[in-house]
């Protein structure tokens, strides 16, 4: 428990210090790229203090000069620092509106160009998706947790449709990301943080040009099948979906 308190104290301190720096930088840099680098530093420090080792597989599947919609399974709060620290491309989060109510974090997220989505308000949600589609068309990748929340039982949960509307509207490829191991470090509903090994798997891009809003369910199924198959290989004894 002492380790958990130490890690949580570090997270709070790092968030305050680096978040404040991000707020200052947001006044001078309009692209949000320097703030993303600060977020990566924040994430790396948390993983180091938590004694979490991350292995990345499939980095050759992405081109840093191409924009993508990244979709990742969601097992733990530690998914976020794993992605920020080890996905070596610029991207912007499509994140739930509640996160934008947290002081300092909210201002730094907005400065980085992260996009708020309010799932309780359909009109607002689709406005956010339209904004995200423009961001992707401008050449910046977007990151989404298609499940919308962390898994309680370790399985990949049902997908929300919003990210797939974004995909067919923007026409850019979806890259499935599969994280193994973070649930054992800190599961949803738990407070204890354990050290451990994590694998971040980057699957091959899935083209979206042949899909429309009408046929987006087929795209959802293709992405889900890809993620479930990869997750099953890395999580022995777990039914993936």
142 DSSP assignment: E
What pLDDT, on a 0 to 100 scale, did the predictor assign at position 21? 83
Give the pLDDT confidence of 209-228 residue by residue, as tens digits: 899 999 999 999 999 999 99
The reported pTM is: 0.88
For residue 198, pLDDT beyond 90:
yes
- What does the pLDDT average to over 126-152? 82
What pLDDT, on a 0 to 100 scale, did the predictor assign at position 101? 64
Q: And the tokens for 47?
A: 């993983």
CA distance 193 to 19: 22
Residue 16: pLDDT band (50, 70, 90) is confident
Note the CATH number of domain 2-234: 3.40.1130.10
β-strand pairing of 69-72 with 115-117: unpaired
Percentage of the residues of the chain whose pLDDT score is greater than 90: 43
Residue 131: pLDDT band (50, 70, 90) is confident
Give the pLDDT confidence of 27-45 residue by residue, as tens digits: 776 667 888 888 899 999 9
Q: Which residues pair with 176 in a beta bridge?
A: 71
CA distance 219 to 208: 7
Q: What SS3 state is found at 174? A: strand
């Amino acid at each position: 428990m002492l380790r958990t308190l130490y890690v949580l104290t570090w997270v709070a301190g790092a968030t305050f210090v680096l978040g404040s720096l991000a707020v200052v930088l947001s006044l001078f840099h309009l692209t949000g790229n320097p703030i993303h680098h600060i977020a990566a530093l924040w994430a790396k420090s948390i993983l180091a203090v938590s004694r979490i080792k991350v292995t990345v597989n499939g980095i050759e599947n992405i081109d840093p000069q191409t924009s993508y919609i990244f979709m990742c399974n969601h097992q733990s709060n530690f998914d976020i620092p794993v992605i920020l620290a080890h996905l070596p491309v610029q991207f912007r989060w499509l994140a739930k509106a509640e996160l934008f109510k947290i002081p300092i974090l909210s201002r730094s997220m907005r400065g980085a160009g992260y996009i708020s989505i309010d799932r309780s308000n359909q009109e607002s949600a689709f406005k956010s998706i339209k904004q995200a589609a423009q961001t992707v068309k401008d050449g910046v990748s977007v990151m989404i947790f298609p499940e919308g929340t962390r898994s309680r039982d370790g399985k990949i949960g049902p997908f929300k449709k919003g990210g797939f509307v974004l995909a067919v509207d923007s026409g850019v490829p979806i890259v499935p990301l599969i994280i193994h191991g973070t649930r054992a470090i800190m599961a949803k509903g738990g407070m204890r943080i354990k050290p451990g090994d994590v694998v971040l798997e980057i699957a091959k891009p899935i083209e979206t040009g042949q899909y429309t809003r009408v046929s987006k369910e087929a795209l959802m199924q293709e992405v889900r099948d890809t993620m479930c198959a990869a997750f099953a290989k890395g999580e022995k004894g777990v039914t993936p979906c």
